[in-house]
Homo-oligomer: A and B are copies of this chain.
């Protein structure tokens, strides 16, 4: 049974006011189109979780979607600050819960594995654990030492972008894997966006490349260029110019709002967004070709 649906429909069906949302992707495969659709649909009171909030959450915070942020690094990668998030945190308008990367990812690992907690090694830097009550300690029964642990993170909804999937949601990803798989397994519901929907024979020709199985996926949305200004390995490049531009235009709430008006509220969907970017940008972001070689699985 096909799970293919439009992105607006998938957001309507699976994302609710007050949800804990994990829109995944470590610099790679960030599902910007889904974030924009959440903004367009006016969802509020969301708890936004991501190791690296990136521009997608800066925009969602600017649009007033978020009540709380769970994160481990709030920077514009390679550029500087996330101004809207930073302003919201400094002014006390946004609740937050903060981890190191390994703490954040360990929470997802526990959530994805159905385990009660994950242990971590001592870091020597105790300030964060003292400020965040989710960090707890147990006594290592083997050494007698205190071990810091974090509890499972089980988002209501994960949004995952992938290079390709079949209609059932069996998804293949290459390039940086980030926390995509853990976010999918940890979450109660999963929306998958993909550059290409392929026949299941393509997936089955290389089962080791399947990162997320259809059984945990609720909706499959065909959204080419979903990740722009982030990128999809082998499909298009990261639009670093936009990351620099956002740094400037998001310095004021007005600047961010003007962007949202023009590029989110003013457009119906990702196809219109991509069109509006224009052919020069399209050309600038072309990925070029560098192919892997086929491997033989054998016919048995």
Say how far A227's CB is from chain B's closest CB, in angstroms: 13
Interface string of A136-152 (1 = CB under 8 A from B): 11111111010101010
Tell me the chain A residues, 254-281 only, with Cβ under 8 Å from chain B: none
Say how far A107's CB is from chain B's closest CB, in angstroms: 12
Is B295 a contact partner of A299 (Cβ separation < 8 A)? no
Say how far A103's CB is from chain B's closest CB, in angstroms: 13
Is B116 a contact partner of A147 (Cβ separation < 8 A)? yes
Interface string of A155-170 (1 = CB under 8 A from B): 0000000010000000
Q: How far is the CA of A175 from the CA of B209 in the complex (A)?
A: 10
A119 proximal to B (CB < 8 A): yes
Contacts of A141 in B (CB 8 A): 117, 136-138, 149
Contacts of A188 in B (CB 8 A): none
Contacts of A205 in B (CB 8 A): 290-293
Q: How far is the CA of A290 from the CA of B298 in the complex (A)?
A: 5
**Which listed residue, B140, B149, B294, touches A294 by the CB 8 Å rule?**
B294
Q: Tell me which of A80-88, A92-100, A233-241 binds B.
A: A233-241
A4 proximal to B (CB < 8 A): no
**Which listed residue, B136, B142, B297, touches A292 by the CB 8 Å rule?**
B297
A89 proximal to B (CB < 8 A): no
Tell me the chain A residues, 224-244 only, with Cβ under 8 Å from chain B: 233-235, 237
Closest chain B residue, CB of each to CB of A287? B298
Known contacts A139-B138, A141-B136, A208-B175; A293 and B294 CB within 8 A of each other: yes
**Which listed residue, B138, B177, B234, B294, touches A296 by the CB 8 Å rule?**
B234
Contacts of A209 in B (CB 8 A): 208, 292, 295
Tell me the chain A residues, 114-129 only, with Cβ under 8 Å from chain B: 114-121
Q: How far is the CA of A175 from the CA of B207 in the complex (A)?
A: 8
Closest chain B residue, CB of each to CB of A114? B121
Q: Which residues of A line the B interface, CB within 8 A?
A: 114-121, 136-143, 145, 147, 149, 151, 163, 172, 174-175, 177, 202, 205-206, 208-209, 233-235, 237, 287-300
Q: Given contact pairs A235-B298, A288-B298, enumerate 9 new A-B contacts (beta carbons under 8 Å).
A: A117-B147, A172-B295, A206-B292, A206-B293, A209-B292, A289-B296, A289-B298, A291-B295, A291-B296
* Pairs A-B, 7 closest by C-beta atoms: A288-B299, A287-B298, A206-B292, A234-B296, A136-B141, A291-B294, A234-B298
